[in-house]
Amino acid sequence: MDLIEIGKASDLLMESEKAKEALIGAFSQGAVVDNRRHQLLLIQEIAEFCERGETEITLVEGIIFSLMENRKPTAEDVMKVLNMLSECQRDLKDYVIERAHLSAPKSKEFDEYYSAISEYVKMKEESTGKQRKRQI
């Protein structure tokens, strides 16, 4: 389990909704507000992390460049990027859940150890309960 990759995926997932809002805001206003530049650039980072195709990454680069230059891209292209971002959000969420999910090993040896420890704890609890009854 690579905790750095999981952390990065988690961060990108959290920032992805802000990136969507920045894209929609820049498209509707026809310009990029300075505090939204970083969020727009995250779209490309998200696409690359999600290993999107070269065509989609090129489209993202073109849209970001157009918006930074105060040129309005087509609504169709923006919708493609928004759909791609939604897919990446699902992928990131699945990645984080899958990689961060810690489950017990399912080996025979583990089952034997677990059973022995459980039996020991059960006997200790019963023994402690009997001792209390005797003391009362």
Q: What is the pLDDT of residue 77?
A: 93
Long-range contacts of 72-79 (CB under 8 A, 24+ apart): 72/27, 72/30, 73/27, 75/27, 78/23, 78/24, 78/27
Return d(Cα 127, Cα 87) in angstroms, integer.
56
pLDDT of residue 65: 92
CB atoms under 10 Å from CB of 40, counted, come to 22
Single pTM value for the model: 0.68
Low-confidence ranges of the chain (pLDDT < 70): 1, 101-107, 110, 113-114, 124-126, 128-136
**In whole angstroms, how far apart are CA 34 and each of 10, 44, 94, 96?**
25, 17, 32, 30
Look at residue 53 and give its three-state secondary structure.
coil
Q: According to the model, what pLDDT value does residue 105 have?
A: 53
pLDDT digits (tens, 9 = 90+) for 115-135: 777 777 777 666 766 666 666
